[in-house]
């Protein structure tokens, strides 16, 4: 038995409705133990699928195409939804501090207790840390996380570009930054907005530095073909209308989009949970906290102690079914099963709707077929978790 759990009803608390938790909810819809009380604390009644967000920016998908409605999933899973965020955790006393979402439909308590806890709240962009590296960022930049806020603000950029040509700079040249840059260009171009300028600011490294050389060359060709200027410089400050670069130069910029590396949520500090060097929840091969056996985590919020891997949606998705198995097993006091994350994952990088670069380990290719493939995979993922309205 997990330390201290008593007989009777056990409380499972799910923090966040990320890529792994939507699968835990689906599993609970099929199999909900009568003695398990399930609460989900997450701010919105939809889950934004980031894989389709660049397609939304490009104008290929609507906002709702990229959202999994959660109300039907909560209902099918027999879970109670509390609209709010976790803002503090005391793993020793098994308590979570809650900030209610301003539009919360019901009463949200300021504190919750649990017998079993599962964390899938994703990564954050820590404004204080960004501001320290890049003064002005928190006031002037459009941040890609929280992704719900970014999706809400994007139409305002399009509206601005309808009034005047804009210069857009994406800061951060990892997968998300590259996809967003090409999606922005496609959208403004197809809306007939001439005279816009597009710049990708890499932070000093090569574009797509995590990718093999051959993929990097393909990405650079696409950026060149679409008229995107690449600046291999760090951005060190942002003010209205311009960016400051590490080499002392300034870049005129109406819309700075920040797509640089994400951070672990600050509320994990002081939680008592064992954390990785980067402040993420350290988990073992059961996706279970290294320090607290009644706590599990999946997705960008955690790091595997045994097999560290990249933080991406694909890994969060893969961890969903084993996380569901292990939560149910922990509840029943049964042995847990190890989860083996794949060594290589298929990566489909969209270059604006209609073209994508596919890579898997050292192999890579590109074309319209790769984009259709990505579109099919993404729509199938959405369809699997989109239940009819209750």
Ligand X SMILES: Cc1cc2nc3c(=O)[nH]c(=O)nc-3n(C[C@H](O)[C@H](O)[C@H](O)COP(=O)(O)OP(=O)(O)OC[C@H]3O[C@@H](n4cnc5c(N)ncnc54)[C@H](O)[C@@H]3O)c2cc1C
Q: Which contacts (CB < 8 Å, 24+ apart) does range 66-69 have?
A: 66/151, 66/382, 68/22, 68/382, 68/385, 68/386, 69/45, 69/386, 69/387, 69/389
54 binds ligand X (CB under 6 A): yes
Beta bridge partners of 359: 347, 364
174 binds ligand X (CB under 6 A): no
Q: CB of 28: closest distance to ligand X in angstroms?
A: 16
Query: Closer CB to ligand X, residue 305 or residue 377?
Result: 377
312 binds ligand X (CB under 6 A): yes
Per-residue binder mask for ligand X (CB under 6 A), 224-263, x = binder? ----------------------------------------
Cis amide bond preceding 187, omega within 30: no
Residue among 130, 144, 169, 283 that touches ligand X (CB under 6 A): 144
Q: What whole-number distance in Å separates Cα of residue 132 and Cα of residue 23?
A: 37
Query: Closer CB to ligand X, residue 242 or residue 320?
Result: 320
Query: Closer CB to ligand X, residue 117 or residue 242?
Result: 117
Least Cα distance to 262 among 301, 212, 230 occurs for 301
Q: What whole-number distance in Å separates Cα of residue 335 and Cα of residue 319?
A: 17
Binding to ligand X in span 259-288, by CB under 6 A: 265
Binding to ligand X in span 361-380, by CB under 6 A: none
Sole window of 43-51, 218-226, 249-257, 362-370 interacting with ligand X (rule: CB under 6 A): 43-51
Q: What whole-number distance in Å separates Cα of residue 222 and Cα of residue 213?
A: 14
What single string gives the DSSP state of each residue in 193-234?
-TT-EEEEE-SSS-TTTTS-HHHHHHHHHHHHHTT-EEE-S-
Q: CB of 323: closest distance to ligand X in angstroms?
A: 10
Q: What whole-number distance in Å separates Cα of residue 321 and Cα of residue 160?
A: 43
Q: Is 295 exposed, middle or buried (0-12, 13-18, 19+ CB in 10 A)?
A: buried
72 binds ligand X (CB under 6 A): no
Q: How far is CA 75 from CA 31, 39, 72, 351, in A?
A: 13, 11, 5, 38
Q: CB of 7: closest distance to ligand X in angstroms?
A: 29
Q: What whole-number distance in Å separates Cα of residue 32 and Cα of residue 235?
A: 50
208 binds ligand X (CB under 6 A): no
41 binds ligand X (CB under 6 A): yes
Query: Closer CB to ligand X, residue 244 or residue 295?
Result: 295
Query: Closer CB to ligand X, residue 50 or residue 271?
Result: 50
Q: How far is CA 37 from CA 69, 110, 115, 317, in A?
A: 22, 19, 10, 24
Q: What whole-number distance in Å separates Cα of residue 386 and Cα of residue 166?
A: 37
Query: Closer CB to ligand X, residue 185 or residue 311?
Result: 311
Q: CB of 78: closest distance to ligand X in angstroms?
A: 19
51 binds ligand X (CB under 6 A): yes
Q: CB of 41: closest distance to ligand X in angstroms?
A: 5
Q: What whole-number distance in Å separates Cα of residue 132 and Cα of residue 55?
A: 32
Q: Is 335 exposed, middle or buried (0-12, 13-18, 19+ CB in 10 A)?
A: exposed
Task: Quote the DSSP letter at residue 253.
Answer: -
Sole window of 60-68, 153-161, 294-302, 323-331 interacting with ligand X (rule: CB under 6 A): 294-302
53 binds ligand X (CB under 6 A): yes
Query: Closer CB to ligand X, residue 43 or residue 136?
Result: 43
18 binds ligand X (CB under 6 A): yes
Q: CB of 343: closest distance to ligand X in angstroms?
A: 15
**Cα-to-chain-centroid distance, residue 384:** 19
Q: CB of 103: closest distance to ligand X in angstroms?
A: 13
Query: Closer CB to ligand X, residue 87 or residue 252?
Result: 87
Q: CB of 49: closest distance to ligand X in angstroms?
A: 8
Q: How far apart are the first and last CA of the chain?
A: 36
19 binds ligand X (CB under 6 A): yes
Degrees to nearest 5, angle at CA 107 with 80 and 111: 80
Query: Closer CB to ligand X, residue 86 or residue 290?
Result: 86
Query: How many residues form the binding site for ligand X (CB under 6 A)?
Result: 34
**Contact footprint for ligand X (CB under 6 A):** 15-20, 41-44, 47, 50-51, 53-54, 85-86, 120-122, 144, 147, 176, 179-180, 265, 299-301, 311-314, 316
């Amino acid at each position: 038995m997990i330390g201290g759990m008593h007989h009777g009803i056990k409380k499972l608390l799910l923090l966040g409705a990320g890529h792994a938790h939507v699968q835990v909810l689906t599993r609970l819809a099929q199999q909900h133990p009568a003695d398990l009380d399930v609460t989900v604390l997450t701010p919105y009644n939809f889950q934004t699928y980031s894989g389709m967000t660049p397609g939304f920016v490009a104008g290929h998908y609507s906002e709702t195409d990229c959202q999994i409605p959660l109300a039907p999933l909560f209902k099918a899973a027999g879970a109670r939804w509390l609209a709010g965020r976790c803002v503090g955790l005391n793993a020793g006393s098994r308590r979570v501090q809650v900030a209610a979402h301003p539009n919360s439909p019901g009463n949200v308590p300021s504190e919750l207790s649990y017998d079993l806890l599962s964390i899938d709240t994703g990564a954050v962009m820590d404004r204080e840390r960004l501001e320290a590296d890049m003064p002005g960022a928190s006031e002037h930049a459009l941040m890609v996380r929280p992704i719900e806020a970014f999706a809400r603000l994007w139409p305002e950029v399009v509206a601005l570009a309808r009034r005047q040509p804009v210069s857009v700079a994406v800061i951060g040249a990892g997968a998300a930054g590259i996809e967003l840059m090409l999606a922005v260009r496609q959208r403004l171009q197809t809306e007939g907005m001439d005279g816009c300028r597009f710049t990708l600011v890499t932070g000093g490294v090569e574009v797509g530095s995590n990718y093999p050389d051959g993929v990097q060359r393909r990405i650079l060709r696409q950026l060149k073909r679409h008229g995107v200027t690449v600046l291999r410089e760090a951005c060190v400050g942002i003010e209205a209308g311009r960016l400051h670069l590490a080499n002392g130069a300034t870049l005129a910029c109406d819309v700075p989009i920040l797509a640089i590396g994400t951070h672990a949520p600050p509320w994990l500090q002081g939680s008592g949970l064992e954390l990785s060097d980067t402040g993420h929840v350290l988990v073992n091969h059961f996706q279970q906290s290294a320090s607290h056996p009644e706590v599990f985590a999946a997705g960008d919020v955690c790091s595997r102690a045994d097999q560290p891997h990249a933080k991406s949606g694909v890994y969060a998705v893969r961890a969903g079914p084993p996380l569901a198995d292990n939560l149910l097993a922990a509840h029943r006091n049964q042995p847990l099963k190890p989860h083996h994350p794949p060594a290589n994952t298929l990566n489909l990088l969209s270059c604006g709707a209609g073209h994508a670069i596919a890579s898997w380990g050292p192999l890579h290719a590109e074309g319209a077929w790769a984009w259709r493939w990505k579109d099919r995979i993404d729509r199938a993922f959405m369809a699997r978790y989109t239940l009819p309205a209750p």
